[in-house]
Amino acid sequence: MVDWTAIDQWERCVDMARPGIIFEVRNADGLSMFTPCVIPLPQVPFDWKSPAVEFRPVPQAPPQHSTPLPRANG
């Protein structure tokens, strides 16, 4: 894992962006969200009580197939 970077350096995400990399953004309460590099930082979740304080690049999880929908009755 890469060390956390202060959120005031968010513009540096452009230099860190690579295929298969997304960014984990964390607030002072330890809550986190995942986002691509978007300037400015996307709006944080409505339930966050404190602003974002740091971020780090992380590997994007591989896509997963969903289970098929059940057949319709009738």
The percentage of the chain sitting over the pLDDT mark of 70, rounded to a whole number, equals 97
Task: Tell me which of 67 and 1 has the higher pLDDT.
Answer: 67
For the residues of 10-56, what is the DSSP string, one character each? GGGHHHH--TTEEEEEEETTS-EEEE---SSPPPPPTT-SS-EEEEE
Domain extent at residue 36: 5-59
This prediction has a pTM of: 0.81
pLDDT of 74 reads: 66
Q: Give the C-alpha separation, 69 to 48, whole Å.
A: 34
Q: Into how many domains does the chain fold?
A: 1
Q: Is residue 71 part of a domain?
A: no
Q: Is residue 65 part of a domain?
A: no
Answer whether residue 8 shows pLDDT above 90.
Answer: yes
pLDDT of 35 reads: 96
Phi, psi of 8 (to 5 degrees): -65, -10
At residue 51, what is the residue type? P
Q: For the segment 38-60, what is each residue's pLDDT rounded down to a tens digit?
A: 999 999 999 999 999 999 999 99
